[in-house]
Structure 1
């Protein structure tokens, strides 16, 4: 993908960045990038031990990660997460070289494509999202767009940019190079209206007719919605008549936002 043009688009990209949601800061801080929901469960147990003085690691000031890997947390089994799940579920965080294989570019369409087509920047392969997976995307701070299959606990929106801030994120359906539908939902980044607006500006700058794209309002969207009222649609409604597996992975649903993780900036020993 070419660098975004100077002017309004550049300004939008610089002013609407979203950082990783605090629920996943532990995941980003962890050298092994274990799944954020699992780490939050153990973080809650660690807080309880610190509060009641039952810490057996030798110091009431032991950091969370020391407690988890060398202290009492190493053998602790929780109802919501076993040691096996914790130790064997790692979220991929791509290096700059690795993320190149996920990068997209926009090219003039012809024939059946018409308008503007989407292809992988490295291979030149026309993008076609199948129905076997949920496909997720992010736009980084330079305006580059990345696409990949979501794998719960393995590959999430944070994977593309290694937990760095993003401009836009969500789920998407692309058929034979044509963007069909977008849902601006990401548990890791919690997109807002300004992120959706910047995405539309970016797509328009590349020649995409955003009026031909179906934008699906996430169920927990709390901001204003800039598109006309629509029936209760879900992204899988646009996956095609032959779709049987799309949506079987319910991992996009929000897990209970219980107070498992306090404001980490107030924690000195995480």
Structure 2
């Protein structure tokens, strides 16, 4: 009878829950909640990133559409244009290259040969465009330059010093407001630091022989990046807008080693370079031993 009772009891689990089992359940619940929170954050992050991309593309599309119309590059030339429309187009083109001039009278706008780069919807490299512009000036086509170049009498013109293939391929990247933030640097305790990441600027970290260029906006914001001939130049940072200073620099571990006022797009003066050096000194940059080239 005693054996039967023991057998009967064995059919039931009489073991009480241990603290270990309770801890495992709690950990699993916490892990599940953490995964849900992370997935929710990741989804919001993706949506936020998508919103930034959409905003940037929208800004570029609007800018392209306005300039495309203003330069008469691709619309019907024979269409009648009123005097008011012509003046509106001229004002838009001028505002493109003069953006920022109202903030500081010392600001430098793009050199003339690069004006046409800024007002060209494709932002073809100004040096290349200028070669075709000089060819256009030799004749009397009676057509606006961009119309002549793209769809008019000059569309078949091919220059040896700049074939059409190069003219098409070498287009300068103009940064929008969101993109520009990734090239902005600030000065912290005398060192040049990337504003978003906090990393010290070091121009030796890129490709061998690469040149680092910079501009300072009329709002005294500093932008810097590697020059890429035919695609990324001084005009890229401010989308053709005016600058207080422009040139090249060399920086090691955030410490300025050399600076020059060389820029074919803006052709800065000695005064622009001096103003930039004053700005650096006021923000704690030690200029002792810095090589300065005008």
TM-score range, shorter chain: 0.5 to 0.7
1:48-87, Cα deviation, whole Å (9 max, x unpaired) = 231xxxx4xxxx2x11101111023222211111110111
| CA displacement at 1:212 relative to structure 2 | 3.1
Other-structure match for 1:249: none
Other-structure match for 2:224: 147
Whole-angstrom distance in 2 between the partners of 1:153 and 1:100: 22
Other-structure match for 1:106: 187
| CA displacement at 1:89 relative to structure 2 | 0.9
Matched, 1:66 2:147: yes
Specify which of 229, 249, 257 is matched with residue 172 of structure 1: 249
Matches within 5 A, 1:124-143: 124-130=198-204, 131-143=208-220
Can you give the 5+ residue segments of structure 2 that lack an aligned partner in the other structure? 1-102
| CA displacement at 1:47 relative to structure 2 | 1.8
CA contact (8 A) 1:16 1:198 kept: no
* Number of corresponding residues: 189
1:15-54, Cα deviation, whole Å (9 max, x unpaired) = 421111111111111011000111111111212231xxxx
Question: TM-score of the superposition, structure 2-length normalised?
Answer: 0.62
Matches within 5 A, 1:22-37: 22-37=112-127
Pick the structure with greater CA Rg. 2
Whole-angstrom distance in 2 between the partners of 1:36 and 1:15: 24
Matched, 1:118 2:199: no
Secondary structure, aligned partner of 2:154 = helix
Other-structure match for 1:4: none
CA contact (8 A) 1:102 1:148 kept: yes
Whole-angstrom distance in 1 between the partners of 2:224 and 2:132: 31
CA contact (8 A) 2:249 2:260 kept: yes
| CA displacement at 1:123 relative to structure 2 | 1.4
Whole-angstrom distance in 1 between the partners of 2:279 and 2:242: 17
Secondary structure, aligned partner of 2:264 = coil
RMSD: 1.3
Specify which of 261, 268, 273 is matched with residue 184 of structure 1: 261
More relative contact order in 1 or in 2 (CA 8 Å, sep 6+)? 1
Secondary structure, aligned partner of 2:265 = coil
Whole-angstrom distance in 2 between the partners of 1:155 and 1:141: 20
Can you give the 5+ residue segments of structure 1 that lack an aligned partner in the other structure? 1-12, 109-115, 218-270
Question: TM-score of the superposition, structure 1-length normalised?
Answer: 0.67
